[in-house]
């Protein structure tokens, strides 16, 4: 019978031995084959939503965060978003050889908004953020800060790393322009009234699933969410 080639072989009468897999001998190669962490897949109930209000329990997640105030079209907000993505992609790309590294997909931009005066955008308070994998620590973030400062000459002094646990929330997927979000929020408020729920604060969270530079306004996908508590 003809032997088929395989991972077992005999040479010079020696005993059969398995060929050593590169995954065993090379730590970097092994990590390349690890499953890539994607928060959108791990927590589908937070990112893959219907276009109808629903109730969810939001667990604690760690974020890189920059707090600010003013019109979201201002330069300060734009620079904050660019810095958050710069740090997140630096973590993803520049530390692959470290023993603590695990492959991951950079999460979408999120922002908590609190409109003190809805008509006066200069008074809006915002906290732009990007969720990070659970294995990221303050020590790792410090290394990312140093790398970003050294390689890109950017100050990261305004960036904080912190966990946020929102708990019980009403949420839904809004499809359309940001200017049309009021209609979706009205439906969320109606849902609260029908289910004996009350908002915990005046702030709300938006998760931007679409790139506004590459997507038509009426096709933008944005997760809307605010914290609630039962009143019944």
What pLDDT sits at residue 34?
A: 66
Average pLDDT over residues 136-164: 95
What pLDDT sits at residue 2?
A: 41
Look at strands 17-18 and 8-9 and give their pairing: antiparallel
What pLDDT sits at residue 7?
A: 35
Whether 72 has a pLDDT exceeding 50, the answer reads yes
Q: Give the pLDDT band (50/70/90) at residue 134.
A: very high
What pLDDT sits at residue 117?
A: 80
Q: Name the nearest CA neighbour of 209 among 105, 54, 92, 62.
A: 105
Q: How far apart are CA 195 and CA 190, in angstroms?
A: 9
Whether 4 has a pLDDT exceeding 60, the answer reads no
In the chain, % of residues over pLDDT 70:
85
Whether 108 has a pLDDT exceeding 70, the answer reads yes
Angle between helical axes of 138-152 and 75-94 (0-180°, round to 10): 110
What pLDDT sits at residue 33?
A: 53
* Between residues 29 and 200, the one the model is more confident about: 200
Average pLDDT over residues 219-229: 98
Chain mean pLDDT for the chain: 88
CATH fold group of domain 36-59+166-232: Multidrug-efflux Transporter 1 Regulator Bmrr; Chain A (3.20.80)
Q: How far apart are CA 148 and CA 179, in angstroms?
A: 34
Q: How far apart are CA 85 and CA 152, in angstroms?
A: 13
Q: Give the pLDDT band (50/70/90) at residue 11.
A: very low
Average pLDDT over residues 114-130: 90
Instruction: Considering the domain delimited by 60-164, tell me its CATH architecture.
Output: Alpha-Beta Barrel (3.20)
For residue range 15-53, what is the model confidence (pLDDT) as tens digits?
444 444 443 434 444 444 568 999 999 999 999 999 999
Q: Where are the domains of the chain?
A: 36-59+166-232, 60-164
What pLDDT sits at residue 120?
A: 87
186 three-class SS: helix
**How many residues does this entry show for the chain?**
232
Whether 92 has a pLDDT exceeding 50, the answer reads yes
Same fold yes or no, 36-59+166-232 and 60-164: yes
């Amino acid at each position: 019978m003809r032997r088929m080639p395989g991972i077992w072989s005999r040479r010079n009468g020696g005993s059969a031995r398995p060929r050593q897999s590169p995954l065993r001998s090379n730590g970097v190669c092994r990590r390349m084959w690890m499953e890539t962490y994607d928060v959108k897949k791990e927590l589908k109930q937070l990112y893959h939503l219907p276009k109808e209000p629903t109730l969810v329990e939001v667990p604690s997640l760690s974020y890189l965060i920059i707090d600010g105030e003013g019109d979201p079209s201002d330069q300060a907000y734009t620079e904050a978003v660019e810095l958050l993505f710069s740090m997140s992609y630096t973590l993803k790309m520049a530390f692959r050889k470290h023993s603590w590294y695990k492959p991951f997909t950079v999460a979408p931009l999120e922002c908590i908004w609190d409109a003190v005066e809805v008509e006066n955008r200069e008074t809006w308070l915002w906290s732009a953020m990007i969720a990070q994998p659970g294995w990221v620590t303050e020590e790792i973030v410090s290394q990312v800060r140093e790398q970003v400062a050294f390689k890109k000459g950017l100050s990261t002094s305004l960036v904080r790393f912190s966990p946020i646990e929102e708990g019980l929330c009403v949420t839904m997927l809004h499809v359309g322009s940001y200017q049309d979000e009021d209609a979706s929020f009205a439906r969320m408020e109606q849902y609260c009234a029908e289910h004996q729920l009350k908002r915990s604060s005046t702030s709300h969270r938006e998760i931007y699933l679409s790139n506004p530079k590459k997507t038509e306004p009426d096709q933008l996908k944005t997760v809307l969410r605010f914290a609630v508590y039962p009143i019944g």
